[in-house]
Structure 1
Amino acid sequence: MRPEWQAILANLKRFFQCYVQRCQQDQVSMIAGYLAYISLLSLVPFIAVMFSMLRAFPIFNEYRQSIESFVYANVIPSRGDEIQAYISQFIGNTGGMTTVGILALVFVALLLIHNIDKTLNKIWRVTKRPRPIISFSIYWMILTLGPILFGSSIALSLYLIGLTRFADDYTPGLSTVLLGVVPYLMSLLAFYILYLVVPNIKVQTKHALAGAFLATVLFELSKRGFALYVTHFPSYDTIYGALALVPILFVWIYLSWIVVLLGAELTALLQQLAATGGERMPDEQDSNDL
């Protein structure tokens, strides 16, 4: 083996070891469990607020059912239809809530955004945070404008898929290919925006893209593996019966947060290496500073 290839492999090994060490130091598995718990409590309020914002714009009425089906089919594997039915029922029950109840829903949804922001900034080692009023304004903007941008992107994707069906006469299978590619692109874009915008520090585009690519690959592999397990090993249904959906949903949310945090760790590590010029790995730098 040539010396340059040996050096490349050695650097890759050191990089991987540093990445694993960073994930262990940040206790990714434990933080993912905490975020999964918060997410499970905030899931219905967050989705209720999101779709309430979409209902405020008549342009989304035509695509509402398609948007909901697209989200549940491509985010929650195997049991998406069942979870959609339950969540839709829960959201329907919020229609008779008082003003205090609605404000409580909004507060719980904002709590989820706050915990995501705090966790990612901790991964990036960001200690300087904006004032509470500024943070609240940002969270409110995400809660109100986020669903609109999210719904617009999905509606545009569905519209383009609809247009390609007319082109199938000239290019057979074009709509099928586009329909298969769109979920991957949506996942990549969502992770990319998350890693680029949420940290209270300037993140380079290429680093956010690398982390988003890793998270997208892991997310798609997790979806397939989890769907395979739920379909062929229905132990949850046997043990929990009608309540099986709760642990299934919790485990899936936990795996999803593991994926998000692993992508964030890669982005933050690349950012840290770029800041030090890449001459020393972070573990070497830390040991020399002791």
Structure 2
Amino acid sequence: MIWLKDTAGFVRKLIRFLRDSELQLLASSMAFISVLSLVPLLTVSLYVFQQLGGFEESMSQLRPLIFNYFAEGIGNEAVSKLEQLVDRLRGGSISFWGSIALFIASLKLLNDMEMAVQKIWGNSKLRPIWQRAVYYTLIITLGPILAAVLLGLLSWKKLMFTQILPDKTLVLALAWLALFLLIRYLPKCQVKSKAALIASAFTALALFVMQIFYLKITKSLFMYDKIYGSLATLPVFLIWIYVNWTLFLFGHALCASLQQYWADD
């Protein structure tokens, strides 16, 4: 029964992390901020991706993956508007100051995300502002490049496993990699790779399962159309964002709990 005792000890640490960090409050705050800043971040990232030479084939794969994921949360009509915004930015239809505003809004979301993560890890001080600006810019610029390289590798026809595994495996692989990098390097402290791998794998799988249940629930909530009319997607969208942030922050709490549990052993 030693394993049961060890499991109980780990669960207690995890609960303490969740309580001390006020995870639900952080997730609620991030959900509200995302309503204002998520679209600018996505727009700027996709714009950077489209400006990269030699990644046209990867872009044709990544863009549908991203928009399909968001379509499940905010609806096809909203995603269509988002695609138009990306195309306008690429075509130069948006003014210089408009582009700057989009970039600043993107940095704001990343900054608030880091503040939430540091609170979960118990780090009272943030990195210097210049260092944060560099990190956020790298996330916006190098993130699309990393996704392009991974997509190119996974879609390589000579890799037989890409023809055997289900289509959703590609989405899971991208999510796992992105979550691992964010959990491993975003906190302002030393994070063990083993803990980050476990936490990111759990979080990616949880997000995948959540998306399946979310689709089933939204399809059954036909009454929202009669009550809210054209605003029917708004309450469901807010819930979708909140759950995504809750799982993301829970992944950090899980990683921190694992790391502390192993350190105390």
- Considering the TM-score relative to the shorter chain, is it more than 0.5? yes
1:229 & 1:137 partners in 2: Cα distance?
40
Compared CA separation, residues 191 and 75, structure 1 to 2 (3 A): farther
- Deviation at residue 35 of structure 1 after TM alignment: 0.8
Compared CA separation, residues 174 and 125, structure 1 to 2 (3 A): closer
Which of the numbers 78, 94, 97 marks the counterpart of 2:94?
A: 97
Alignment-derived partner of residue 127 in structure 1: 124
1:62 & 1:177 partners in 2: Cα distance?
20
Gaps of 5+ in 1: 168-172, 279-290
Contact 1:78 1:231 in 2 (8 A): no
Matches within 5 A, 1:207-222: 207-222=195-210
Post-superposition CA distance 1:260-282 (Å, at most 9, x none): 0111101011222233x22xxxx
Gaps of 5+ in 2: none
Contact 1:73 1:80 in 2 (8 A): no
Contact 2:70 2:79 in 1 (8 A): no
* 1:49 partnered with 2:37: no
The residue identity in structure 1 corresponding to 2:132 is S
Matches within 5 A, 1:29-178: 29-74=24-69, 77=72, 81-94=76-89, 95-157=92-154, 159-160=155-156, 162-163=157-158, 175=163, 177-178=165-166
Contact 1:49 1:106 in 2 (8 A): yes
Larger RCO: Structure 1 or Structure 2 (Cα < 8 Å, ≥ 6 residues apart)?
2
Matches within 5 A, 1:5-16: 5=1, 7-16=2-11
1:90 & 1:241 partners in 2: Cα distance?
25
2:68 & 2:129 partners in 1: Cα distance?
37
Post-superposition CA distance 1:140-170 (Å, at most 9, x none): 121221222123323432x23x556xx6xxx
Give RMSD over aligned pairs: 2.3
Compared CA separation, residues 76 and 257, structure 1 to 2 (3 A): farther
Q: Secondary structure at the match of 2:191?
A: coil
Post-superposition CA distance 1:161-210 (Å, at most 9, x none): x556xx6xxxxx96252524222222221211110011111110111012
1:39 & 1:219 partners in 2: Cα distance?
17
Structure ID, larger Rg = 1
Q: Secondary structure at the match of 2:72?
A: coil
Which of the numbers 241, 259, 264 marks the counterpart of 1:271?
A: 259
Which of the numbers 217, 241, 259 marks the counterpart of 1:253?
A: 241
Contact 2:41 2:103 in 1 (8 A): yes
TM-score by length of 2: 0.89
Compared CA separation, residues 108 and 134, structure 1 to 2 (3 A): same
Contact 2:120 2:252 in 1 (8 A): yes
TM-score by length of 1: 0.82
- Deviation at residue 96 of structure 1 after TM alignment: 2.3
- Deviation at residue 80 of structure 1 after TM alignment: 5.8
2:5 & 2:227 partners in 1: Cα distance?
48
Compared CA separation, residues 132 and 142, structure 1 to 2 (3 A): same
- Deviation at residue 108 of structure 1 after TM alignment: 0.3
Alignment-derived partner of residue 190 in structure 1: 178
Post-superposition CA distance 1:54-78 (Å, at most 9, x none): 1212322334332111223346537
1:44 & 1:66 partners in 2: Cα distance?
20
- Deviation at residue 20 of structure 1 after TM alignment: 2.2
